[in-house]
Structure 1
Amino acid sequence: MTVVDFTQHQLQLPRLPLPRLETTFDEYLRMLEPLLTAEQFAAIKQHVADFLKPSGFGERLQRRLRDAVVHSQQSQGSWLYQLATNYEFLQCRHALLVKTNTFTLFADDPTLERVDLVTDSEHRSRQGVYSAAQIKRAARLINGFLDVKDAMAAGRYPESQPGTGRLCLHQYRYLFGVTRTPMLKCDVLRGSGSGGDGGEHAYTDPVRHITVLVDNQPYSVPVYAEDGGRVTDADLERQLWAVVEDVESRTKHEEPVCIWTGMPRDHWAARERLIDVSERNITSLHAIEDSLFVVALDRFSGRRASQQEGKGIAGLDESHRNGFSCSENRWFDKSFSLIVESDGRAGIQCEHAACDGLVPSKVAAEALKHPVQFLGTASALSSDTRLPPPEALHFELDERLHAMLLQARQETATISANSDSCCLQFTDYGSDFIKHTGSPDAYIEMAFQLAFYRIHGEFASACESIGMRGFLKGRTEIGRVFSMECRAWCMAMQDPATTIRERYRLLQEACRVHKDMIARALRGEGASWHLHALYLMQRKDEAHPVFTSAMAKEGSRWRIYAGSLNSADTFYCGGFAASAPDGYGIGYHFRRNAIHIGIECDRQGGTTSSAGYRGMLLDVLREMASMCRALDSTASKEDASQ
């Protein structure tokens, strides 16, 4: 990891520029054209011309925005940071369960793969539910994440990739000890990383405990010694076994208060009533919300579930669904939670308001570098430092809260059941092959659109998350990636009369346009947030059809919402929810010889299927490779004959 002076590093970053009106509306028209008829596009062009006329409405909004930008950059360092954080996340009233939080499934631990600590009864809890493999994986992950936390406190951040340039580190301050607290209309971030600005570190806070959830029962578990020193994996194993044994010894479990955190945000008003009922509830809530992060020890195993259903032994789909959409044994408000299944398979679920998905994935990649090493019993090895025991966190509920919790359990179960997700472990080829034909990112986005078109018989408004951390407090731009060139290529792939050479040429052109769009966004010329900021500059009595027309709204109804994830070999797949009820949420990451993809859609819409889309995408990726290889073979023969 790179050693940096946080303050100096941040001061040297450029500020995000405010795009020109003409640049943004060129992008606006380019994005809408492939989705509209000729008549509709002519009408929207007239609206844009009216908006951009000299001394017109567009210039008035831009002047207001420019004044707001000056104030925002002076107070926040970025005109976009607070807008994106508040509007996109904290003001969003959707449930964090499925709708907002992201999930990444880790690769299995190589040490545990070689040693069977799952089926041996001597290595299981008293009731046979929790295994030594699970506890050892959890302890190693906890210490791995604490290693990264302590490294960041010393100024070492996971930004060491060559050629990436200087990236903003601000979001790293929102990983440990931060909770999204529910409030009416707009949530707030609270905890050790949410206060202060500029170069102030969050990682000197004395918080030394995590929250562990077992069967919906929360525990405060110290992970540092009383003197602040670090402890061994064996010490942490002993702490986790103590929690498991306490849960299994109970004659009756307490109500699953954690389920409330999966409710739509305004419905999680029960938090205020919890506080009003008793002081004990305040103490328990604060212990969870102030903790460094959450570890959920699940009774579930994706592999076991897959075997029981006769689907094979891998169980990746089942594990992905458990991590992404399970409504129980979670505290969704925490910045991140480690989820460890009963056989040791694990992943990370992240709350999105605190930081964008790539930041916790970089931290996870660092934490996963060292697999399980200690295979003895927890009592066989320990440090000499004193480690306080775990503490069960209790809540007192009155009759009204009991009724509210019953409703919450029903609602969150419905949200979970409505989510349809699966993984695609594509191993025919990966980034090495694609780089011979163009940009891997552009290539895969073309595949997403063609698969959608073949299933639904129409094109989709598509967007891609583009990291903007090259700027101070940069978050993500919403790249509008469907173009006329992509449309032309998809149509050619459906036309048997189009030659392979012409299809390949059209693919290359579509990928070039995609790369140019990404490059513009990375320069600070993205259109999506600028358009939204202009929209917010309107006063109550003002409106313009560039924002309000049905044609404009169609362009922002993302039926393909995609984003690339960390390409580390320590991840299986990850993903996030679909943005539209008739669309797909797609998380992907490349390996040199594989592409790992997570797909999510909405069952309630009735028109989408994650498995159906996966099957079509598999066919499209193979067809694209056949096209590229056929053209390469033809070119080689032509070269040989000359």
Structure 2
Amino acid sequence: MAEAHEAVAFQFTVGAEGVSLNVSYDVFKALLYSGLRSWKLRCRRTLNSLHNTLYPGHPVRGIAWCGIIYTLYIKDHDPSYNIIDWIDSHIFRRYFTPENSKTCAILVFGTGTYFVLIQIRQYILKSLFSYHGWMYQEHGRPVGLGQKLWGGLVKLFIGRNPSLYSYQSVLPQLPLPSLDDTLKRYLRTVRPIYDDIEYHQMEVLAEDFRRTIGRKLQRYLWLKWLISSNYVSDWWEKFVYLRGRSPIMVNSNFYGLDMAYIRPTRIQTARAANMVCASLKYRTRLDHQNITPLMIQNMIPLCSSQYERQYNTVRIPGKDADTIVHYSDSHHLAVYHKGRWFKLMIVHNDQMLQPCEIQIQLDEIIRDASEPAYGEEHLAALTAGERTSWAETRAKYFSAGVNRTSLETIEKAAFILILDDEEYDIGSLNMNSSTQNSAEKSEKFDAYARAILHGKAYNRWFDKSFNFIFSKDAVAGINVEHSWADAPISGHMVEYVLSEDILYYGYDELGNTRGVPRFTAPKPTRLKWLIPESCNILIEKSLAQATKVFNDVDLHTYIQDVYGKGFIKKCKVSPDAYVQMALQLAHYRDTGRFNLTYEASMTRLFRDGRTETVRSCSIESSQWVKSMENPNISKSERIKLLRLACDYHQQQYRDAMTGKGIDRHLFCLYVLSKYFNMDSPFLQRVLQEPWRLSTSQTATTYDEKHFRKLMAQNPDLVRKYGIDDQRNLAPYGGGFGPVAADGYGVSYIIAAEDLIFFHISSNKSAGETDSKRFGERICQAMKDMRDLFEGEIKFEKKN
């Protein structure tokens, strides 16, 4: 209990000699600095909130406006048309002197009119952002007069220097599609996967739904749309994520990997220290809202609400549903190494620790030779098993005493840091000197990806918003809990951290962190656990469940480095649509039939937007796939069908992004039908259809111009790491587990002009699926699609 005593700033005892008072100066100082930091953070957040309320106006401009009103008034030019005099005589005259009351009246009028002007400007912006015709502009076609006028108005009213949340109040609501349109589009998307009899049955069910309870449910949903900022997001988070009772490991959490071709150091603690500092620097920018919101075409903002819960966040298990808890701040990390849990302070004397100071702390943990406490090594397996069992175990064994204190330390941490005691052999330091072929690289990356996705089930805390994981040879990865946000939010952070690690912090000649420690930071402390045997039995039971889950995962990575988006753009089709068509062709060859296909698109053009489904298997895509299997159809006809399929896919993608999707609308109608106890055979059938091919593109936000600028500022990196091409900084992307028990999960990242990474998952128990085989199908599909354009587009083959 020594740590508990040291954590108390004041202690007093009463004895025969009187009262004895002991003051722990160091603890008192730590508490003082902690309070000061919290106070400063609250003040900054208050100022940011004021700034965002007024944006695209500014408090300084508001003060200037009041000054203009005051100047005009004293010069006998009353801009208020006697309103100031009325406010003066009816409100302030009875409390103040005539001069002071007049000044107050002018300030009230000036502030009020400025706020009204800001409200008008915000309303205009919201109306402009509600227009999405620009998304449907055909590439290469001249922009019409109407769109030019719209673009000019957006630039006129949008304002300058926005903070992260400045545009939240002017983002439009997600529109509610009409029931008829959704049913019509739905029936079109399922035509390729049903035969004539099955399709006719679906038509009958859809029409019966439309004529009976569909209209009533639509009216209820309209009421929800009317009173909420987003009619989908809260239900999506609650019912899709938090009410799920199966393990979140593999089934929900996803992973992200390191840079594919750069290994800046092989010292585990140095790499971890640099990336921890880069991540905390990113957290500070989030807290200060210094990150510019993502903008499409530098004009249209995307919703930033998901960033808020990136740090200091944990998913708490419940008996029927989990909850997401976000803490306003955290001064420590929870670190796992060789079965032991540690608390690592990241703030000392109100200063964030530097990489060299954190590396010293991490080296202390590595050198610690103590054994795990009874039950400690496998403790995190509770977060990998069934959610109800974890909730009951948490309530029974972790609600009081030392176990509660240690559990709160983990759950209130900024994030989790995992120091693995295994190496991830992913090849040479950079791609230019690599002698391995893609197949050899994929084999090594497969094991690496599995380690980051699930590890051993007990060496990841799957409830935290994210775990940063570092191998013994300093290869990094991230495991992310999915309920609090979608993958692009974590991807944005990971890209920032990886670039800061290389281009800002760097390493010395020995591979250690740079700099000299400024002070002796507090040493990391072991967390204490008292795990009874009955609790340990539950831990081992959860581990057995989780082990069964991850042993069933068949995970494979396929590296497409023969060609990429550079060649695809020459084909005059969307790179994403092109890859989706390759997946359709590969999946048809793999299964012999067309299947319902899920591609995630974002709806962040709207406030609190998350995702929508693009149904990639369409009438157009199926016609093109059939043409590729028919030797009697010419290349020119196949190209024509491919372009039609890609164009339709892009149309669907745009519809999904602009609130005209199908699946979220039907999902909300299904939730209402359950709430009102209205059975609907149509909705039951829709929601039970398996997504045998679930796909997602990992978007990149890395700016090539920014890359060139950084390279000019850091010429030594070209020599040290061979970073003479943006491709060398390409992240390897990440992936997720299969959505359907007998299906595939495919994540891909179009990383560079001639580089695409595919992450393919399936279940070994499915029998019909094989991730490596599917990777080979994708490889052949990409080759066949490239061969279509031979003679039309010059293609430089690699050796």
Q: Name the TM tier (shorter chain).
A: 0.7 to 0.9
2:360 is aligned to 238
1:384 is aligned to 518
Q: 1:428 to 1:161 in 2, by over 3 A?
A: farther
CA distance in 2, matches of 1:111, 1:586: 26
1:57-68 to structure 2, matched below 5 A, reads 57-68=213-224
CA shift for structure 1 position 399: 2.1
Contact 2:264 2:511 in 1 (8 A): no
TM-score where L is the length of structure 1: 0.87
1:406-417 to structure 2, matched below 5 A, reads 406-417=540-551
2:182 is aligned to 24
1:602 aligns with 2:763: yes
One-letter identity of the residue aligned with 2:343:
S
Contact 1:368 1:570 in 2 (8 A): no
Contact 1:109 1:137 in 2 (8 A): no
CA distance in 1, matches of 2:331, 2:372: 30
1:444 aligns with 2:602: no
CA shift for structure 1 position 381: 4.6
CA distance in 1, matches of 2:642, 2:188: 18
2:233 is aligned to 81
The match for 1:547 among 676, 680, 683 is 683
2:166 is aligned to 8
The match for 1:69 among 221, 225, 244 is 225
Contact 1:141 1:368 in 2 (8 A): yes
The answer to which of 12-21 and 535-544 deviates more is 535-544
Q: 1:8 to 1:540 in 2, by over 3 A?
A: closer
Contact 2:426 2:445 in 1 (8 A): no
Contact 1:3 1:155 in 2 (8 A): no
Q: Helix, strand or coil for the counterpart of 1:369?
A: helix
CA distance in 2, matches of 1:532, 1:288: 35
One-letter identity of the residue aligned with 2:214:
G
CA shift for structure 1 position 4: 2.8
CA shift for structure 1 position 3: 5.4
CA distance in 2, matches of 1:457, 1:377: 52
Spell out, residue by residue over 1:134-188, the C-alpha distance to the aligned partner (whole angstroms, 9 max, x if none): 1111111101111111112222226456626201111111110000011012100
1:85-124 to structure 2, matched below 5 A, reads 85-107=237-259, 110=262, 112=264, 117=266
CA distance in 2, matches of 1:223, 1:340: 18
1:285 is aligned to 407
CA shift for structure 1 position 444: 0.8
The answer to which of 85-94 and 561-570 deviates more is 561-570
The match for 1:217 among 340, 345, 361 is 340
CA shift for structure 1 position 519: 0.8
CA shift for structure 1 position 302: 2.4
Q: 1:334 to 1:13 in 2, by over 3 A?
A: same
The match for 1:186 among 296, 305, 321 is 321
Q: 1:90 to 1:304 in 2, by over 3 A?
A: same
The answer to which of 159-168 and 80-89 deviates more is 159-168
CA distance in 2, matches of 1:13, 1:241: 47
CA shift for structure 1 position 526: 0.7
Contact 1:94 1:100 in 2 (8 A): no
CA distance in 1, matches of 2:684, 2:464: 36
Contact 2:381 2:542 in 1 (8 A): yes
CA distance in 1, matches of 2:599, 2:575: 14
Contact 1:111 1:373 in 2 (8 A): no
CA distance in 2, matches of 1:312, 1:40: 45
The match for 1:42 among 173, 193, 200 is 200
Spell out, residue by residue over 1:560-603, the C-alpha distance to the aligned partner (whole angstroms, 9 max, x if none): 11111133544113101111111111111102211111111111
Q: Helix, strand or coil for the counterpart of 2:269?
A: helix
Greater length-normalized contact order (CA 8 Å, ≥ 6 residues apart): 1
Q: Helix, strand or coil for the counterpart of 1:524?
A: coil
1:485 aligns with 2:485: no
Q: 1:352 to 1:448 in 2, by over 3 A?
A: same
The answer to which of 282-291 and 437-446 deviates more is 437-446
One-letter identity of the residue aligned with 1:250:
E
What is the total number of aligned residue pairs between the two structures?
588
Contact 2:163 2:293 in 1 (8 A): no
CA shift for structure 1 position 239: 0.9
CA shift for structure 1 position 620: 0.7
Spell out, residue by residue over 1:213-238, the C-alpha distance to the aligned partner (whole angstroms, 9 max, x if none): 1123211111122x221222110101
One-letter identity of the residue aligned with 1:70:
L
The match for 1:145 among 276, 279, 289 is 279
1:120 is aligned to none
Task: Flag structure 1 segments of 5+ consecutive residues without an equivalent.
Answer: 118-132, 193-201, 635-642
Q: Helix, strand or coil for the counterpart of 2:683?
A: helix
CA shift for structure 1 position 529: 0.8
CA shift for structure 1 position 251: 8.0
CA distance in 1, matches of 2:561, 2:473: 25
Spell out, residue by residue over 1:493-526, the C-alpha distance to the aligned partner (whole angstroms, 9 max, x if none): 1111111111111111111111111111111111
1:397-476 to structure 2, matched below 5 A, reads 397-437=531-571, 438-476=573-611
More helix as a share of residues: 2
One-letter identity of the residue aligned with 1:357:
A
One-letter identity of the residue aligned with 2:788:
M
The answer to which of 251-260 and 228-237 deviates more is 251-260
Identical columns (%): 26
1:577 aligns with 2:737: yes
One-letter identity of the residue aligned with 2:523:
P
CA shift for structure 1 position 374: 3.0
Q: 1:294 to 1:616 in 2, by over 3 A?
A: same
CA distance in 1, matches of 2:794, 2:342: 62
Q: Helix, strand or coil for the counterpart of 1:59?
A: helix
CA distance in 2, matches of 1:90, 1:17: 25
One-letter identity of the residue aligned with 2:623:
A
Q: Helix, strand or coil for the counterpart of 2:587?
A: helix
1:146-545 to structure 2, matched below 5 A, reads 146-157=280-291, 159-160=293-294, 163=297, 165-192=300-327, 202=328, 205=329, 207-225=330-348, 227-246=349-368, 248-250=369-371, 254-269=376-391, 270-276=393-399, 278-303=400-425, 312=440, 315-326=444-455, 327-370=457-500, 371=502, 373-375=506-508, 381-385=515-519, 387-437=521-571, 438-538=573-673, 541-545=677-681
Spell out, residue by residue over 1:256-287, the C-alpha distance to the aligned partner (whole angstroms, 9 max, x if none): 211111112122132112224x4101101111
Task: Flag structure 2 segments of 5+ consecutive residues without an equivalent.
Answer: 1-159, 429-434, 703-728
CA distance in 2, matches of 1:252, 1:11: 50
CA distance in 2, matches of 1:160, 1:419: 35
Q: Helix, strand or coil for the counterpart of 2:350?
A: coil
CA distance in 2, matches of 1:423, 1:187: 32
Q: 1:579 to 1:497 in 2, by over 3 A?
A: same
Q: Helix, strand or coil for the counterpart of 2:765?
A: coil
Q: 1:321 to 1:541 in 2, by over 3 A?
A: closer
One-letter identity of the residue aligned with 1:365:
E
Contact 1:429 1:593 in 2 (8 A): yes
Q: Helix, strand or coil for the counterpart of 1:338?
A: strand
One-letter identity of the residue aligned with 1:613:
F
Q: Helix, strand or coil for the counterpart of 1:152?
A: helix
TM-score where L is the length of structure 2: 0.70
One-letter identity of the residue aligned with 1:475:
R
Q: 1:465 to 1:377 in 2, by over 3 A?
A: closer
CA distance in 2, matches of 1:378, 1:251: 28
Task: Report the structure number with the largest CA radius of gyration.
Answer: 2
CA shift for structure 1 position 37: 0.8
CA shift for structure 1 position 545: 2.6
CA shift for structure 1 position 629: 2.6
Spell out, residue by residue over 1:454-503, the C-alpha distance to the aligned partner (whole angstroms, 9 max, x if none): 11111111011111111111011122221011111111111111111111
CA distance in 2, matches of 1:379, 1:174: 29
